[in-house]
Amino acid sequence: IRFGIGHGQLPEKQLEAVTLDFAHHKFDVLIATTIIESGIDIPNANTIIINRADMFGLAQLYQIRGRVGRSNRRAYAYLIIPSKLQDNARKRLETLIEYESLGSGYQIAMRDMELRGAGTLLGTKQSGIINSIGFNYYNRLLTKAIENIQAEKPKELWLEEESQNIERLRIESDYYFPESYIESEKERLEIYRKMLEFDEPTQFNDLKSELRDRFGDIPAQAQTALKYFQLRLYIKKIGLESMKMRKNKIIIEFNTSNMPARSLLTNFVGKFNYPVKIDATKGFKMIFQVNHKQEKYSEFMINKSLKMAEYLYDNLQ
């Protein structure tokens, strides 16, 4: 086996000669530093061994791995790592394993920014604290700050809209994806994030099908979680102040500045045919007395609340 060596300390002409010799197969193995990270296109190279891969940045590893597999020949990348890894190094390597398809550079760049933290827009730092709050939340904070500046109210206090909506819904049952159903914490968090970003109720049907395909039958707690987040979206779309389930009551509080038509409310009460009390002392609330003899009380209540919210949503469109 013939070897060649290339690194940044070599004179330019000599380094070029080594690269061309390797491309023309005048030797078999090129031992090199990260200087081969970009600008090298050798289709015949189909194997790369990266020593101490845990010491490289994510973007670096992605670029170096891309030095092989540049033709129709199957390629291999071997990453040598120590037995004990730091948490960030492990996450970088897991990202490379997860995103290995063609065109995955964007996802890798996003994950790299989450791990390192985005730089300051008006400063010189190239890393930040985004990893501690999440990229999506960081973007919402930034968007709201820009809106305040444009409105010439840079010091205006504001509450995150999403957290307000979460507090507007209260149910009397547990809702979560159990570890026995989805083992990976990362997968569970991704599904929660996805549901928070839904803007159409029909998207939950697609998610249910996806969950059944990937993880099997959906357990009770997970089904309740799906209903909870769908109900939460309905509340946001309808513009309700709150919706709460308490004992045998479903309490719907409307926004007095965005009330539905009286005819719709009349039809709404007739549709569900439960005793209802109107409370207009503070705002406008409809309190339905839901008497039933169901064994699964919590499930019945959230299903009934979902039907009520769905009716309001469909008739307000």
Q: How many structural domains are present in the chain?
A: 3
Contacts of 46 (CB under 8 A, 6+ apart): 68, 69, 71, 73, 74, 75, 76
**Strand, helix or coil for residue 46:** coil
Same domain assignment for residues 146 and 191: no
Question: According to the model, what pLDDT value does residue 256 have?
Answer: 87
Residue 165 pLDDT class (50, 70, 90 cuts): very low
Same domain assignment for residues 172 and 153: no
Q: Which of residues 278 and 126 earns the better pLDDT score?
A: 278
Asked whether the predicted pLDDT for residue 15 surpasses 60, the reply is: yes
Over range 92-105, report the average pLDDT: 81
Same domain assignment for residues 103 and 146: no
Question: According to the model, what pLDDT value does residue 233 have?
Answer: 92
Question: According to the model, what pLDDT value does residue 147 have?
Answer: 82
Domain that holds residue 131: 118-158
Residue 282 pLDDT class (50, 70, 90 cuts): confident
Asked whether the predicted pLDDT for residue 56 surpasses 60, the reply is: yes
Same domain assignment for residues 68 and 109: yes
The residue type at 37: E
Asked whether the predicted pLDDT for residue 164 surpasses 50, the reply is: no
Residue 229 pLDDT class (50, 70, 90 cuts): very high
The enclosing domain of 277 has a CATH number of 3.90.1150.50
Whether 20 is in a domain gets the answer: no
Whether 97 is in a domain gets the answer: yes
Asked whether the predicted pLDDT for residue 124 surpasses 80, the reply is: no
Same domain assignment for residues 172 and 311: yes
Asked whether the predicted pLDDT for residue 157 surpasses 70, the reply is: no
Residue 118 pLDDT class (50, 70, 90 cuts): low
Same domain assignment for residues 294 and 253: yes
Distances (CA, A) of 246 to 100, 297, 304, 309: 49, 11, 13, 16
The residue type at 296: K
* Angle subtended at Cα 36 by Cα 30 and Cα 37, rounded to the nearest 5 degrees: 140
Measured CA to CA, the distance from residue 179 to residue 284 in angstroms comes to 40
Over range 23-47, report the average pLDDT: 90
Whether 239 is in a domain gets the answer: yes
Whether 248 is in a domain gets the answer: yes
Same domain assignment for residues 190 and 281: yes
Same domain assignment for residues 176 and 303: yes
Same domain assignment for residues 147 and 224: no
Same domain assignment for residues 110 and 129: no
Domain boundary among 129, 158, 187: 158
Domain boundary among 136, 158, 180: 158
Whether 5 is in a domain gets the answer: no
The enclosing domain of 67 has a CATH number of 3.40.50.300
Whether 2 is in a domain gets the answer: no
Query: Out of 51-65, 99-113, 194-208, which region has the weakest mean confidence (pLDDT)?
Result: 99-113
Asked whether the predicted pLDDT for residue 293 surpasses 90, the reply is: no
Query: Out of 10-24, 63-77, 153-167, 188-202, which region has the weakest mean confidence (pLDDT)?
Result: 153-167
Same domain assignment for residues 210 and 97: no
Question: According to the model, what pLDDT value does residue 203 have?
Answer: 93
